[in-house]
Amino acid sequence: MQAREALSVTAEGTRFDTVLEGRRSYEIGLAAGIPDAFPHLRHLVFSRTLTETPAAAVELVADYPVATVRELKQQPGKDIWLLGGAELAGSLYGEIDVLTLKVAPLTIGTGIPLFSDRAAFDPRTWTLARHTVPDSGAMFLSYERTGG
């Protein structure tokens, strides 16, 4: 809950109105019995293999992610949240305007890269726009793209 509060995604109309998720990230929630972790947001799951979801409000998208995101950016509304998935993040690397990172006081020894190899070598610069440090000691750092 602290993470959702720090990112302002706990209620309608705060910061985001749309969340994008890759199939593998979405399936983690499904395995935990959560078919729609974001009922207060428009929830798009990118997958070429899923044909249905147990949550009627979750939209499955088989189209190319960049085209979909460019179309979403043209529509009125709030920000779009790209929720995990190195494959999806790698596909959308050039479309990311704000990068919010969570640095937690926990190490696990292995993990998923921020961007898959779908992101071509394309250096970008970012400027720290805001940060939040809850009592847990985690840090939420939001950077805005300034170059590239």
Residue-wise pLDDT for 41-84, tens only, equals 999 999 999 999 999 999 999 999 999 999 999 999 999 999 87
Q: Mark the ranges of the chain whose per-residue pLDDT is less than 70.
A: 1-13, 148
Where in the chain are the domains?
2-147
Q: What is the pTM of this model?
A: 0.82
Q: Write down the CATH superfamily of domain 2-147.
A: Dihydrofolate Reductase, subunit A (3.40.430.10)
SS3 track for the chain: CHHHHHCCCCCCCCCEEEEEEEHHHHHHHHHCCCCCCCCCCEEEEECCCCCCCCCCCEEEECCCHHHHHHHHHHCCCCEEEEECCHHHHHHCHHHCCEEEEEECCCCCCCCCCCCCCCCCCCCCEEEEEEEECCCCCCEEEEEEEEEC
